[in-house]
Structure 1
Amino acid sequence: MSLRIAAIAALALAAPVAAQTAPAPGPADVELWRLDCGGVQVNDLNAFSDTLAYTGRTKRLVASCYLIRHGGDYMLWDAGLPEATIGAPVSKTDAMSPVLTTTIKRQLAQIGVAPEKIGRIGISHYHFDHTGQATGFPGATLLIGKGDFDALKAGKPGTSTEPLRPWFGGAGKSEPVEGDKDVFGDGSVTMLTMPGHTPGHHALLVRLKGRGPVLLSGDTAHFRENYDSNGVPPFNVDRAQSLASLARFKALAGNAKATVILQHEAADVAKLPAFPASAR
C-alpha cells in the first residue's frame, strides 16, 4: 500500500471517532430583563372576581413585559399598553384606567438593542394591555396561542386585530402555537398552554443558569390574593379551564422550584432586577 493510500485510509478510520468524541455545543446563554409596559388603576377590584370577593376595594396593577436574550437571539414576551396611552389622565371612576409613562423601544435603546434585533414576539394573550406596542416590531415572528389566533381571525367579541396588524392583514410572519412550545429547541424558554382567560392563553417558563427557572404568568392570575384564592375574573372565557390552568401553573412552579412572577403584581415583578439590570 502506498503512503498516500495509507494516509487516506487512516483519515477515513479516524473521522467517525472524531465525530463521536466531538464535544456537544453548550447551552445558550439566557438573559432576562423586566420592562415597564404601563399599569392599570383598578377602581373596582371586583372586575377580577366572579364571586365578588373584593367589594369596595381598589388596586394599582402593573403591566409588565419581558425581554429575553437567547445567545444572539432576542424575544419579547408581551407588548404592554399602547404608546398612545402616554399622558392620558388617570380616572378615579372608570372600573379600569390604563397608565403609561415610557415605551418598550425607549427601554431597549438604553441597553443597545435595536427594534430590528427582536426576532420573536411571544404574546400571552390578545388583550390590549399585552399587545399594545407589538406593531413597533413588524419584522419579528409572532408567537400566539392558536385559540387566540383563531378568535382574532374570526373577529370574536372582545378581540381586535388592530394592535397586531403587521401579522393580521400585513406581511408579518406568525406562528399559532397549539399546546406547549419549546421556543429555541433547547428547553430554555417554553410557552405553556394555560387556556381559560382567553382560548389560547399561554404562560412562559424561562430557565436561567444562575437564578434558576422563572415562571411568567401572563394572566393566569392577576395579583397575589387572586392567585392564592384561585380567583377567576368574570371576563375569562372559560371558568373550568381557568381553574385547571391555575392548578397546572402552581404544580409546575412547585415541581420546577420556579420563581413565580404574576405579571400584574408589582411585588412579584420586583423579584427580578430593576431595569436596566438583568437576571441570568
Structure 2
Amino acid sequence: MARLAALAALVLTMAQAPAPKPAADVELWRLDCGGVQVNDLNAFSDTLAYSGQSKRLVASCYLIRHGSDYMLWDTGLPEAVIGQPVSNTDAMSPILTTTIKRQLAQIGVKPEQIGRVGISHYHFDHTGQAAGFPGATLLIGKGDADALSAGKPGTSAEPLKPWFGGGAKIEAIDADKDVFGDGSVTLLNLPGHTPGHHALLVVLKGKGPVLLSGDLAHFRENYDTNGVPPFNTDRAATLASLDRFKKLAGNVKATVILQHEPGDVAKLPAFPASAR
C-alpha cells in the first residue's frame, strides 16, 4: 500500500511539473578573430610529432543568437595585433585584420546587445577582445577563474579586467552549463588544456548539433592522434576530455569544429551568412 501511495505521489508530481520549454530559434555565425602562423608545429606536441613542420591556423570565435539574446563564444586576438608584421621565425606569430565589433555592425548587432561572453579558456587568443563587452555576463570555467584570480604563472587577467577587478558580472562554471535552460547551447566541462577549459555544443534546428572545440585540439592531425601540447596543464585530463568529446560527437552526430583548423571552420557559412 505504501508503495502504491509513493507511486501515486510521483505521478502527481510529474503531472504538475512544467512542460519543457521549446527550443528558441538559434542562429550561429562564425567570426574572423584572427590567425596564427605557427613556424614550429612541435609547439603543439609533447611527443615531437611535427618536427620541421609549420602551419597557418585561424583564431575563430562565434556569435550565437538565441531568440532575442546574443552570446559570444571566445573573443579572439586583441585589437592591438592589427597591423603587426607576420614573423617567419617566431614559434608562433599572431595575425589580425578586423575586429568583432566591426563584424557585428555588418549584421546590425550593437555591442550592448551581447548579454553573455563565453570563454573556452584564459589564453590570450581567446580573450583578446572580451573587454569590449563589459555589460555582458562572463561565462568561464571555475578552474580558469581561480587561476586568474590567483595570478598563476602563464595567466593574465588583463584582457578580462571588467570582470576581474572591474565589478562586471561573472559566472564561474565547474561542470557543464545549459546556458538558456532548453538544451540548445551547452558549455561542456573538458579540462586539461587549462584547469577550467570548456567546449560548446550548439543545437541548430536545420544543421543539427555543432561542437565548438575551444582548444581541446588545435588541428585535425592533432585531434585524430590525441596529440597533447606541452603547455597543457594536465595531460591525463586532456586525454579524458578528448575521449568524452569524440564519443559525444559520435553519439549526437555533431558537426565538429576545431576552432583553430581552417578546414573545420569552413564547415560553417562564411560571414555574414549564418548557420541555423
TM-score range relative to shorter protein:
over 0.9
Q: CA deviation at 1:171?
A: 1.8
CA distance in 2, matches of 1:240, 1:279: 34
The equivalent of 1:29 in structure 2 is 25
1:159 is matched with which residue? 155
* Residue 212 (structure 2) pairs with residue 216 (structure 1): yes
For residue 251 of structure 1, give the secondary structure of its aligned residue in structure 2: helix
Amino acid across the alignment from 1:152? L
Distance 1:175 1:51 in 2: 36
Corresponding residue to 2:131 among 135, 141, 144: 135
1:112 alignment counterpart: 108
Please point out which of 201, 205, 211 is paired with 1:205: 201
**Match in the other structure for 1:188:** 184
Q: How far off is 1:27 after superposition? A: 2.0
Match in the other structure for 1:52: 48
1:251 matches 2:247: yes
Q: CA deviation at 1:224?
A: 0.2
Residues 16-95 of structure 1: pairs in structure 2 closer than 5 A:
26-95=22-91
Identity of aligned residues (%): 83
TM-score by length of 2: 0.93
Alignment correspondent of 2:140: 144
State the alpha-carbon separation in 2 of the partners of residues 34 and 231 from structure 1: 25
1:96 corresponding residue in structure 2: 92
Summarize the Cα distance change of 1:173–1:266 in structure 2 as closer, same or farther, 3 Å threshold.
same
State the superposition RMSD in angstroms. 1.4
Cα distance in 2 between the residues matched to 1:56 and 1:79: 30
Question: Runs (4+) of structure 1 moved beyond 3 Å?
Answer: 22-26
Cα-to-partner distance string for 1:170-223 (whole Å, 9 max, x where unaligned):
021000001100000000000000000000000000000000000000000000
Residue identity opposite 2:32 in structure 1: D
Q: Which moved more, 1:22-31 or 1:233-242?
A: 22-31
Aligned partner (choices 223, 226, 231) of residue 227 of structure 1: 223
Displacement of 1:25 in angstroms is 5.5
Partner of 1:37, secondary structure, is coil
How far apart are the structure 1 equivalents of 2:232 and 2:191?
9
**Whole-Å Cα distance in 2 between the matches of residues 78 and 26 of structure 1?**
27
Q: 1:273: which partner in 2?
A: 269
Query: How far off its partner does 1:113 sit?
Result: 0.2
The gaps in structure 1 that reach 5 residues or longer are 1-19
Is this contact kept in 1: 2:22–2:182, CA < 8 A? Answer: no
Unaligned runs of 5+ in 2: 1-15
CA offsets 1:204-260 (integer angstroms, 9 cap, x no match)? 000000000000000000000000000000000000000000000000000010000
* C-alpha distance in 2 between matches for 1:158 and 1:270: 31
Amino acid at match of 2:88: K
Structure 1 distance, partners of 2:187, 2:272, is 24
2:117 partner SS: strand
Instruction: Tell which structure's C-alpha radius of gyration is larger.
Output: 1
1:54 offset after TM fit, Å?
0.2
Task: Tell me how far 1:276 sits from its aligned partner.
Answer: 0.2
Q: Do residues 236 (structure 1) and 227 (structure 2) align?
A: no
Question: How does the TM-score come out when normalised to structure 1?
Answer: 0.91
Q: What amino acid sits opposite 2:86 in the alignment?
A: V
Assess, with a 3 A threshold, how the Cα gap between structure 1 residues 163 and 23 changes in structure 2: closer, same or farther. Answer: closer
Question: Which of residues 165, 169, 184 is equivalent to 2:165?
Answer: 169
For the residue of structure 2 that corresponds to 1:172, the secondary structure is coil
Q: Distance in 2 between matches of 1:27 and 1:274?
A: 25
AA of the residue aligned to 1:102: T
